[in-house]
Amino acid sequence: MAALTPRPRPRLTLTPAHTRVVFGVALAGAWLGETVNTYEVPGAAAIVAPAIWSALSLAFLAAGAAFLYGVRPRLSGAALLLLLVVAAAVEAKVVGRAGEHHGKHLPALALAAMVACAALGRERLAHQAACGAVGAAYVLSGLAKLLGSGAAWWQGGTLGLLVAERAVAGPAWLAAPRLQVALSPHLCSVLALATLLIECAGVAMLWPRARRAWAVAALGLHAGVALLMGYVYVTWVMVVVALAFGSFVMSPHDAENTQAAPPARG
């Protein structure tokens, strides 16, 4: 009679090691953003007691550490995703406006894709699925501009006015360069068109060999958005870097079994 052996648990290995830090910063940024957005609203503490939020934050921290160190990734990933969904629901209830803060979306989309693969028993596809989901977010952003404004979106005046608003309202040291850009319709057209092209080129995340080149372009896009518009999307940058330059290998077997397994013959 064969001895009963415990069913192997999946493990998640992030390589190189700093991928763990990069994706961790993205997750932490998503949670921190939720916290700030929720509690800057008067009366938020009456809807969600800070003690409860603190407990949720500790749970997020624990689940995040477990996920990033590959411990029970199916469970810890699902817990992380669930906590982000709860936080987003609380934010929507407290703030009263949904979809305004996008910082939380990319870490959650990448997680959702990984967790879905694990739940379907397709752990090895987790990284690929996360790349597809993240690329889709950028393509959606480009599509929204095309559907919402069409070719008028990259006419100079559109971006020019947005940048001019941030020139008068942003930090003093950026006022002059922002104003110079805003008053140059040709430059604004080029920048707007480049934005649209890079966003739509998010489809490159479907091809492993194209990911790094597109990620560099996306980093340039985020740098430009930060300088001209003042939006620093740290979580998005970190997710793109983690997925394009790192590797998330979710194995259906635990590490000990894998190491102990004899080499296959024949």
Partner 1 sequence: MSRAAALAFVLVVVGGLVLGEVFPLSRFDMYARAAGRREGAVPFVLADGREIAIEDLSEFSALDAQALLPPGMPCSMEYRVHEMQSWILTHPAHAGTTPGPLRVQVGYRVLSIAGGRLHERRVLVAEGRAWPR
Asked if residue 221 binds partner 1 (CB under 8 A), the reply is no
Q: Is 66 in the site for partner 1 (CB under 8 A)?
A: no
222 binds partner 1 (CB under 8 A): no
Residues 6+ apart with CB under 8 A from 10: 73, 74, 118, 123, 250, 251, 252, 253, 254
> CA dihedral in degrees (162, 167, 170, 171; nearest 10)?
150
Stretch that binds partner 1, among 7-15, 52-60, 179-187, 247-255 (CB under 8 A): 179-187
Kindly tell me which residue out of 55, 152, 176, 255 binds partner 1, with binding defined by CB under 8 A: 152
237 lines the binding site for partner 1 (CB under 8 A)? no
Which of 9, 72, 102, 253 binds partner 1 (CB under 8 A)? It is 102
Tokens 């009263």 -> residue: 96
Taking the chain, what is the end-to-end CA distance rounded to the nearest angstrom? 27
Q: What is the dihedral of CA 41, 47, 50, 56, to 10 degrees?
A: -110
Choose the binding region for partner 1 from 17-25, 48-56, 113-121, 246-254 (rule: CB under 8 A): 113-121
What does the radius of gyration of the chain's CA atoms come to, in whole angstroms? 21
Q: Is 145 in the site for partner 1 (CB under 8 A)?
A: yes
Q: Out of 83, 117, 118, 241, point to the residue binding partner 1 (CB under 8 A).
A: 117
Per-residue H/E/C for 180-209: HHHCCHHHHHHHHHHHHHHHHHHHHHHCHH
Q: Does 47 bind partner 1 (CB under 8 A)?
A: no
CB of 62 to partner 1, least distance (A): 21
Under the criterion CB under 8 A, does residue 262 sit at the interface with partner 1?
A: no
Nearest to 221 by CA among 197, 255, 245, 242: 197
Q: How many residues interact with partner 1 (rule CB under 8 A)? A: 65
Amino acid at 234: V
Of 138, 136, 126, 102, the C-alpha closest to 30 is 102
Q: Are 156 and 188 in contact (CB under 8 A)?
A: yes
Q: Backbone phi, then psi, for 155, in 5-degree steps?
A: -75, 140
CB of 55 to partner 1, least distance (A): 21
Find the shortest distance in angstroms from Cβ 133 to partner 1: 4
Options 149, 177, 247, 256; binder of partner 1; rule CB under 8 A: 149
What does the binding site for partner 1 look like in residue numbers (CB under 8 A)?
40-42, 81, 84-85, 88-89, 92, 97-100, 102, 104-105, 108-109, 112-113, 116-117, 122, 125, 128-133, 135-137, 139-141, 143-145, 147-150, 152-153, 155, 157-162, 164-165, 167-169, 179, 182-183, 203, 205-208
